[in-house]
Each structure stands twice: as C-alpha cells, then as structure tokens.
Amino acid sequence: MLPKGLRRKKSSACFLLAVVLILGTAGCGGKNGEEEATPSAEPGITAPATEPTEPASQPTQPEEPTKAAEPTEIPKEVRTNFYVSSLDEELPSLSEAWKDYFSVGVALTANELNNEFKTDLIVQQFNSMTCGNEMKPDFLLDRAKTLSEGTETCPVLSFRSCDGMLQFCMDNGIKMRGHTLVWHSQTPDWFFMEGYSNHQDAVFVSREVMLERMENYIRQVMEYVNTTYPGVVYAWDVVNEAIAPGDGEENGMRVDDSLWYQVIGPDFVEKAFEYARKYADPEQKLFYNDFNTYETSKRIAIVNLVNKIREQGNIDGIGMQSHIGMSSPTMDDYETAICKFAETGVEIHITELDIGLDSDSEENLLKEGKRYKRLFFLLKNLMDSGKANITNVTFWGLTDDGSWLNKDGKRYPLLFNQLLETKPAFWGVLLDDGIPLY
C-alpha cells in the first residue's frame, strides 16, 4: 500500500481526455426500436475516420535531421482490470470527471464517517452528500423534549444525528442535499396526534394545527442547519414521495399511507413548498423527490404537481430517485421522464441512484458497468444537447455491503465493493473505454 500522502498524486488526465473526447447527441423521445439492439454506428463514440497521412500529389520534403519525428498515434490502452483498490492506488475522481456537467454525490450513514479509508475515498470522489437517514423527521423529532418543552403547534428537534455529517461536509468542502423535510414514511405517527400522543386511541390534530406544526418543523430545520453550517446545504428535498397513482386519486396523490394527506389534505405539498421557500436561504434549491418517476402515470402526476408549485414560485427542481433494475426502466423511458420533467423548466437531480443487481458473477458485474455507462452517456447527451439541466447525480450508498438493498447480503448495486475496490460500475460511470456501451 502506498503511504497515504502519495496515494492522491497520480494524474487523472488520461481519463479526463477520454471523457472529453466522447461526444454525442440525444433527442427526447426520438429513439425507436428495441432497447438492447446493437446500433450499427453510435454517433460520437466511433473514432473519426483517420485522415490520409500524405496526399499523393504532395512533394516529398527533405528530412530535417535535428527535428524529432512526427508523433505517431499511440494506441490507447483499454482497461481490462476493473477491480482497483482505493487503498492502494489513486483513482480518477468522479466529481472531477463530471465537474462540467453536475456534482456527484453519495448517500451515507453517520457511522461510515468513522472509517478513515472511507472518508478518504469520499473526499476524493464526491462533492455532494446526502444523509441516508439522519436528517429525516424520525431522527430529528425529539418526542420527550416536545412533551416537556414544546407547544401543541411547535415540536422540539434534536440534531445530534446529523451534526457530525454536516460538520464533515463543512470541513471538507462538500455540499449537502437536505433529505428530507416532509415524507409520509419515517415520520412518527405521534407527530400528527393531539398532545403528540402515541396511544392507540390518539386522535389527529386539526388541519390548522398540523399546518403550524409543519411550518415550525421546516423553519427549525432550516434555521438550525443554515445558521450552524452556513452554505453547506444547497438543495432540500422538501416533499418526498407524495405521488402514488395506485391510490386512485384523480391527482395521483398518495393517500392510503400518508398522514400528511389525511390530516391536511391534497394541498399539503404546496404548503410545504410555501414554508420551505419562506425559510430557505435564497440560494438553496427546493426539490420534489420521488421514485419510479419514469412510470407514465406517476410522471404525468409529478409534472402536473410541479407545474402548479412552479406557478407559485416555490420549486426549483425534481429529484428522480432512480433505484433502477438491470433492465427496467428502459433507457428510452428514463430519457422520456427526464425530458418531460425538464420541460417544466426546473433542474433535475438524480438523487438516489443504484442498480438492483443480485448476482456478483463476472458477467453480471460487467453488465452492470455497461448499464451505468449507458445511463451516464444518456445524461451527458441530454446536457450537451441542452435538453435537460441535470445538476446533481447522487449514488444511494458508497459500498455494496452498506446499501439499503443489501438486506440479504446478495445485492451489488453500487460502484465500490466491501473492500473499497472499484467495480466495473465505477468505470462505466466514467465512460471508460474498457466498458462496452452495448
């Protein structure tokens, strides 16, 4: 293993050159045909035809003995080893590679920051972070203190869970996505009850009281974070997962398991954004975040919701979580969703990217790398063609073993394995030549 100080010194210039060289075009919804079909020629990827070196008519020149020979084209070495230990070698940096396009983020749990090898890797690779859980309402709401020091309309919060993560970001120049303010999940039922009761026979507070609780919650989170760690949070997931067309509402809203909807009514999303805008720093961006955003009915409902909030001036972006599979969604459907969202005029964040691969065979890990490459190739093309303003891509976890998907220990969704080695997925995200696109 190289001494720590030496690990970071290798240049990533070759890699950057490769990224810059890859150019392409994309159209929204303009692609037809089978998703996995092999294109005869992929625009922008195939190397340009070699120029003739010497026109036939050109007179021969006498050789200059002192001049070095013209550089001949050196064939580029194509990577074949995809498993590089971040402990031994300096890796090209994802955030550096994509810096002209979007920030690159990672979701973490607080305890991952106790591992020095991980923090080295995080600082090297990412310029955005999301708390996997530590900034959610069930972590911030302090029931005991709310009962003793709060009021019926103002809960008491504690930020112990996320303080260390915010401090880490501040110390290392990493920005944070604030995740998440208003969500039906990971928000305790007692927050919706009279007297903050957690008894079985507890009753809901009125809509008016709940709106005040919501405003006071959002205000306190924003005031604390923005005062204690100024400039760290650059985007807030104001409302998470409020759309669930399966619940049968005309507007596509989640009803069945959303106490927010049940206590306040369908305008709880608009109210949340109104309060968020009121207390956010002016430069902070406000996002609506959801999963399976490429499903048609969900996509349409999100566009309608966002258009409404945009008219009120209270939203800046859509977060596409992107917990995707190996073959679903198709790249075409994913592209269509991005384009439809971009048409609303807001920014796009890919907020929780991972791929639900359930096999670690060499073949499948390579396929995963290929899928990541295709996805990033698409994102790049959408940006290059001005079709979408994608400003952040965040991976939902650092290593496979730490992924939320990995309850059975047999999931391989991310870019690094348990040993902090790169997987083909990492090189796919870098559009490395060693990973085939198709």
DSSP-assigned letter for residue 415 = S
- Give the integer Cα–Cα distance in Å for 117 and 421: 11
Residue closer to ligand G3I by CB (options 292, 314) is 292
Report whether 187 contacts 138 (CB < 8 A).
Answer: yes
Least CB distance to ligand G3I at residue 190 (A):
15
Residue closer to ligand G3I by CB (options 240, 293) is 240
Judged by the rule CB under 6 A, the positions of this chain that interact with ligand G3I are 132-133, 185-186, 240, 291, 321, 352, 404
Residue 241 designated active-site: yes
Residue closer to ligand G3I by CB (options 185, 385) is 185
Residue closer to ligand G3I by CB (options 132, 252) is 132
Residue of 215, 295, 335, 352 marked catalytic: 352
Least CB distance to ligand G3I at residue 321 (A):
5
Residue 421 designated active-site: no
Compute φ and ψ for 241, nearest 5 degrees.
60, 45
Least CB distance to ligand G3I at residue 112 (A):
12
Residue closer to ligand G3I by CB (options 301, 366) is 301
User: From residue 160, how far is each of 196, 236, 273 by CA, in Å?
Assistant: 21, 19, 25
DSSP-assigned letter for residue 337 = H
- Give the integer Cα–Cα distance in Å for 78 and 55: 31
Residue of 112, 134, 215, 241 marked catalytic: 241
- Three-state secondary structure call for residue 29: coil
Residue closer to ligand G3I by CB (options 184, 340) is 184
> Nearest-CB residue to ligand G3I?
404
Least CB distance to ligand G3I at residue 354 (A):
9
* Secondary structure (DSSP) of 269-300: HHHHHHHHHHHS-TT-EEEEEESSTTSHHHHH
Least CB distance to ligand G3I at residue 350 (A):
13
Least CB distance to ligand G3I at residue 14 (A):
35
Compute φ and ψ for 208, nearest 5 degrees.
-65, -45
Report whether 399 contacts 416 (CB < 8 A).
Answer: yes
Least CB distance to ligand G3I at residue 311 (A):
27
Strand partners, 287: 237, 317
Residue closer to ligand G3I by CB (options 26, 320) is 320
Q: Position of tokens 């596409």? A: 320
SS3 content of the chain, % helix, strand, coil (to 5): 40, 15, 45
Which tokens belong to 120? 């080295």
- Give the integer Cα–Cα distance in Å for 131 and 414: 17
Closest residue by Cα to residue 186 from 112, 244, 259, 129:
259
Which residue pairs from 2-8 have beta carbons closer than 8 angstroms and sit at least 24 positions apart in sequence?
2/88, 2/89, 4/120, 7/87, 7/88, 7/89, 7/90, 7/120, 8/90, 8/124
Which tokens belong to 99? 């810096």
- Extract the runs of DSSP E, i.e. beta strands, from 46-201: 103-108, 128-131, 175-183
Least CB distance to ligand G3I at residue 407 (A):
9
Residue closer to ligand G3I by CB (options 86, 240) is 240
Q: Which residues have a catalytic role annotated?
A: 241, 352
